[in-house]
Amino acid sequence: MNVDANIAELEKRISYVFNNKELVKCALTHSSFVNELKINKWESYQRLEFLGDAVLELVSSEFLYAGNSVMSEGKMSKVRASMVCEPALAFCARKFHLGELILLGKGEETGGGRERNSILSDVFEAIIGAIYQDGGLEEARKFIHKFVLDDVEENQLFVDSKSILQEKIQAQSGKTLRYELVSESGPEHDKTFEVAVYVNEECVTTATGHNKKDAEQQAAYLVLKKMKEE
Active site residues: 53, 125
d(CA 61, CA 67): 10
- What gap in Å lies between CA 224 and CA 2, rounded to an integer? 40
Whether 203 contacts 197, CB under 8 Å: yes
Q: Rounded CA gap, 184 and 8, in Å?
A: 36
